[in-house]
Amino acid sequence: MEQKNVINFYNNVFNPKLNLNNIHAEKLWNKTLVGKKKSLSEKKHSQNKKKNTAFLNVNTEELKRRLNFLNQKSQIKILKYNSIVHASIESYLRMSKYIGKIISLSDFFFPMFEEKLENYRLPKELKYLAIIESNLNPVVTSKAGAKGIWQFMPETGKIYNLDINHLYDERNDPIKSTEAACRYLKFLYRKIGNWEFVLAAYNAGPGTVDKILQRSKNRKNFWELWEFFPKETQNYIPKFIAINYVMNYHKEHNIYKYSSSPYKYKYKETILIPIKEKISLKFYAYNLNISYQDLILLNPQYLVDLIPSGNKLRLPKNKIFILKNKERFFSKKIHKN
């Protein structure tokens, strides 16, 4: 399978057509600054109450209470209410099918994210960043060239030891890119020491945050400096708070897992094996009696149907006994090729 076909395959599997940057955060913030009696989000809520009762049936006080509860449990302490956050939550709640798909995909990714975050002593809530970054699509590429589930640019990826070549791109590797994201987030927190600004730096770059902080030394709160950030970053923190809320309270809004996950195996039901000689994914799929598509899903870092020697392949654990039984055959077949 060529690189283009691999990407098309993933796009067909994930394909979340959405744009959460259209919540008009600037207008909302201006409404808040001038002290209107009723925020824009509250007006929208009342206008759409009948139309979206199943998804928007939460009043402001209840939303504040739930966010306060999440914030008390949180290690990062930034899950606080304002009208921009409220609007972002409503934006997510309107996309019930999308949230349902994300919940389904999270069954595979979140246990691994949590394991890696714990290893690096980072807050587990940071797993939700991957939803904002990539919709949990391990091969998505941004217009700017960022790639993978954690959206690494090539330069940053290489700094964190993610190999990129014509055969494979480790930014697409969910595990290696998650470890890289953990190291990067750890670096940002040591440098900045404030989780709101860490998330802003992950989105806009640490240089942008440094400049804003230097010229506004008396204001140390993200919301006080909100107007100075790029529009995408202005939306980034509200979206992070919103997705935290939605992933914890989706059932209260009658949103549930959407159909079945494209992943037939859970993360803990898979294992990495070393590849001593170059070999094709199709060869493994055929001989281990596993769907070729399932194998691609478990190994999205490979851009072509070839695993170079010295690399690793993720397989379901229940296929390992077949591998051991056929190991000699594999070795002979590889050397013949």
Show which residues are catalytic: 133
CB 45 within 8 A of CB 90: yes
**For residues 157 and 180, what is the distance between their CA atoms, to the nearest angstrom?**
8
Helix 25-33 × helix 83-93 angle, to 10°: 150
User: Which of 166, 155, 160, 240 has the alpha carbon at shortest distance from 197?
Assistant: 240
Phi, psi of 274 (to 5 degrees): -75, 145
Specify whether the CB–CB gap between 170 and 177 falls below 8 A: yes
Phi, psi for 229 (deg, rounded to 5): -85, 155
- Rounded to whole angstroms, how far apart are CA atoms 96 and 331? 49
Q: What is the DSSP letter of 170?
A: G
Burial class (CB in 10 A: 0-12, 13-18, 19+), 206: middle
What's the full length of the chain, in residues? 337
Asked if residue 39 lies in contact with residue 46, where contact means CB atoms within 8 angstroms, the answer is no
Which residues, at least 6 apart from 286, have a Cβ–Cβ distance to it below 8 Å?
none
Task: Dump the DSSP string for 272-285.
Answer: EEE--S-B-HHHHH
**Token pair of 1, please?**
């399978």
Cα–Cα dist 3/168, whole Å: 9
Amino acid at 302: Y
